[in-house]
Amino acid sequence: MEIRQLKTFWTLASTRSFSRTAESLNYVPSTVTMQIKALEEELGVKLLDRLGKTVVLTDAGYQFLPYANKILNDIEEARHVSSQSGELTGTVIIGADEVLCTYRLPALLRLFRERYPRVRLLFRPLSSHNLKQSLREGQADVVFMLDEPAVSVDLHTELLLDEPFHMVVSPDHPLASRSTLSIEDFHGEHVLLSEKGCSYRNYFYRTLLKKGADSLTELEFNSAEAIKQCAMTGLGIALLPEMVIKGEVERGELIVLPWDLSEIRFATQMLWHQEKWISPSFRGFIEMARSVLSH
């Protein structure tokens, strides 16, 4: 049994794709097939089935995966201990939505680079609806999402920080001076929305459209920064995280509307696949993320 065979099996179990595994490990697909076949012959069991283009672990494959994960983790730790410098090395692939990429992650990435200069950080900005899939397909080690708390059967989800949201308008907007609002006040208004599939876009619909607002004009953007700038010019009503608008609200450039948003909870969350091999460099990143982002 060879280490490279275990790494290939573990990667294939994460990506569920021979082609993506080959690309990740810089192999040709036939090499992946050969290594898995050799591992199965040595173990005397079938570890996976190919169903069309999808790879499915057999019962034996599921039972063997934790052992492969432990062996690979022990090897990585041994390499770390035996290295002369004792510094963490390796690669961590990170994904995040646009808001967290802009407002939460820069401080974390800078501090991690300063403390662990030999660890290579690869960052992939992804749309909200692609983040979880990137973990399931092995395209990212860890992702950060701004979303409602949820439980997943195959992904480890860790809540780091609650994120308040506000509806905001420019100071000269007709609703800016109102001390109270009813759903009728939103009739005919322009609303500035994030991309389809975004959790807080869906919440906007729940709080306005489903409560009876009608004749709304929707303007869609793929950037929270663009939504904020358009709201500041008086183009319409925006629903944005407090971290995005805090400075503008303090300076009076945006006005928070008196609309109750307490019924829903959003949070910055960190996710990785439950079968993910936690290397020392990955563990170091997780621990630092908890420290930097949880307060």
pLDDT at 77 over 70: no
Tens-place pLDDT, residues 10-24: 888 878 888 888 888
CA dist 169 and 176 (Å) reads 6
Distance CA 86, CA 79 (A): 9
Domain-ending residue, one of 47, 82, 117: 82
Pair 24, 56 in one domain: yes
Please check whether residues 151 and 278 belong to one and the same domain.
yes
Quick check: 56 and 16 in contact, CB under 8 A?
A: yes
CATH classification of the domain holding 29: 1.10.10.10
Q: Dump pLDDT digits (tens) for 79-119.
A: 665 555 567 778 888 999 889 999 999 999 999 999 999 88
Contact 146, 126 (CB under 8 A): no
Question: Which pLDDT score is estimated for 235?
Answer: 94
95 vs 100: CA distance, rounded Å: 10
Give the pLDDT score at 83: 56
How many structural domains does the chain have? 3
Distance CA 136, CA 45 (A): 25
Overall average pLDDT of the 217-231 stretch:
89
147-173: pLDDT as tens digits: 888 788 889 999 999 999 999 999 999
Residue 248 lies in a domain: yes
> Are 239 and 187 found together in one domain?
yes
The pLDDT, as a whole number, for residue 197 is: 66
Same domain, 171 and 252: yes
- Final residue in a domain of this structure, among 48, 82, 116: 82
Amino acid at site 257: L
> In angstroms, rounded to a whole number, what is the distance separating the alpha carbons of residues 119 and 94?
13
Q: Confidence class of residue 185 from pLDDT cuts 50, 70 and 90? A: confident
Confidence of residue 271 (pLDDT cuts 50, 70, 90): very high
> What is the residue range of 11's domain?
3-82
Q: Is residue 261 part of a domain?
A: no
Q: What percent of the chain has pLDDT over 70?
A: 96
Render pLDDT for 228-254 as a digit per residue (tens, 0 to 9).
999 999 999 999 999 999 999 999 999
Kindly state whether residues 48 and 104 are assigned to the same domain.
no
Which carries the bigger pLDDT value, residue 81 or residue 50?
50
Residues 171 and 249 in one domain: yes
Q: Are residues 108 and 127 in the same domain?
A: yes
- Rounded to whole angstroms, the Cα distance separating 69 from 276 reads 8
CATH number of the CATH domain containing 169: 3.40.190.10
User: Please, what is the average pLDDT of the chain?
Assistant: 86
Q: Evaluate whether residue 262 is within a structural domain.
A: no
Domain boundary among 18, 48, 82: 82
Residues 142 and 279 in one domain: yes
